[in-house]
Amino acid sequence: MAGPLSGYRIIELAGIGPAPFGAMMLADMGAEVIRVDRLQAVDGPAIPGGDPSQDLLNRGRRSVAVDLKHPGGVATVLALVAHADALVEGFRPGVAERLGVGPGPCLERNPRLVYGRMTGWGQEGPKAHLPGHDINYLALSGTLSAIGRQGEAPVPPLNLVADFGGGGMLLAYGVVCALLEAGRSGTGQVIDVAMVDGSALLATMIHGFRSAGLWRDERGTNLLDTGAWFYEVYETADGGYLAVGALEPRFCAELIRLSGVGSDGCGNVAHQADLASWPAMKERLAAVFLTRTRDEWCELLEDSDACVAPVLGLGEAPGHPHNAHRGTFTEVSGVVQPAPAPRFSRTPGTIDRPPPRAGQHTDEVLGDWGLEQSHIDELRATGAIG
């Protein structure tokens, strides 16, 4: 069965990180995504020290190699645009225009086209022309300031929040929204996805808490930022870790009962609301968890209502019984990787193919999308494609 986006054709102007992630999500859901790689990428490694099959963000699509500085290369992309439903790019503002594949010529060629643009700072604004990375966008949004422990510097959560949550995922969401609207109106539009905007959006609930007086600006003192003893990560006797999320009183009561932290009568659910007791309760629970190994605690707590889970390593997670049962991870061409999500009952997503080599499918794609073989041969002879 085909995925829910089967039948949609999308062009991806190759970039790095968050834009490929958004394109990957669209491909996972059944869209035909054609990655337009730079001609120079044909002879280069996909990732430093690796091979294309390990560049997982490129999975599920075919690749054509095009020289976008060659008039024939630009014409080739515009020929593809004529048959596409959407195009996504992650260049800095103005780059696509200088190359000749900006929204103007693309929408002129195909008025129904959805043109998705993703940058860090957005298409306009005082910082729009500047370079940056996840940590910069996350910082300016205010979200980074809330992540970390009391008395310590903010901790960037890898590059998951701005690059992938506030960037690539928002790009995929924006494209799908615009495709739905274009299906009604018959007219495409341009989507301005900025990672600084997405980083702010992901913290909407925290802004609500702060407005209501339920969140302090001091890191590590709040309900969800390691301030609470019942929402924290604890070390175990073997150097492992447990994630505790016993937020509701009945779950907290189960944590207290099963862990034994309240065996001397000093630990009880009343300490959930007593912020002054949080540091002392955290010390008590930390000492208790150090008395057993991670797996011993899991045997006692993991299948209870105490809301405790082991902190698994990236290599451990695929083998956990719950993940294995659900197929949370899958293996494609010998590489274990997260499976497509979310899940659909009738039109499930799938990984159609492993990541391609740059330009691996140039002739195949151009032929499928309507170019004559003689034209393809001419483009190759002039160096427009590879």
152-200 tens-digit pLDDT: 999 999 999 999 999 999 999 999 999 999 999 999 999 999 999 999 9
Q: Supply the pLDDT for residue 291.
A: 97
Residue 139, domain CATH:
3.40.50.10540
Number of domains within the chain: 2
Q: Supply the pLDDT for residue 44.
A: 65
Together in a domain, 149 and 265: no
Together in a domain, 195 and 266: no
With beta carbons less than 8 A apart as the criterion, state whether 223 and 247 touch.
yes
Domain span holding position 91: 9-202+329-382
CA distances from 165 to 138, 146, 216, 243, 285 (A): 11, 17, 24, 22, 33
Bond before 18 cis per omega within 30 degrees: no
Together in a domain, 175 and 272: no
Residue 271, domain CATH:
3.30.1540.10
Together in a domain, 170 and 249: no
pTM surpassing 0.85? yes
Q: Supply the pLDDT for residue 45.
A: 58
Together in a domain, 27 and 146: yes
Together in a domain, 52 and 159: yes
- Average pLDDT rounded to a whole number, residues 38-63: 81
Distance CA 165, CA 314 (A): 19
Distance CA 112, CA 108 (A): 9
Is 315 inside a domain boundary? no
Is 215 inside a domain boundary? no
* Beta-bridge partners for 89: 13, 117
Q: Supply the pLDDT for residue 52.
A: 80
Together in a domain, 145 and 31: yes
Distance CA 236, CA 286 (A): 8
Together in a domain, 193 and 65: yes
Is 342 inside a domain boundary? yes
99-155 tens-digit pLDDT: 999 999 999 999 999 999 999 999 999 999 999 999 999 999 999 999 999 999 999
Together in a domain, 256 and 188: no
Distance CA 251, CA 182 (A): 47
Distance CA 22, CA 35 (A): 12
With beta carbons less than 8 A apart as the criterion, state whether 15 and 41 touch.
no
Catalytic site positions: 133, 163
If you average pLDDT over every residue of the chain, what do you get? Answer: 95
By percentage, how much of the chain surpasses pLDDT 70? 96
The alpha carbons of the chain give a radius of gyration, in whole angstroms, of 25
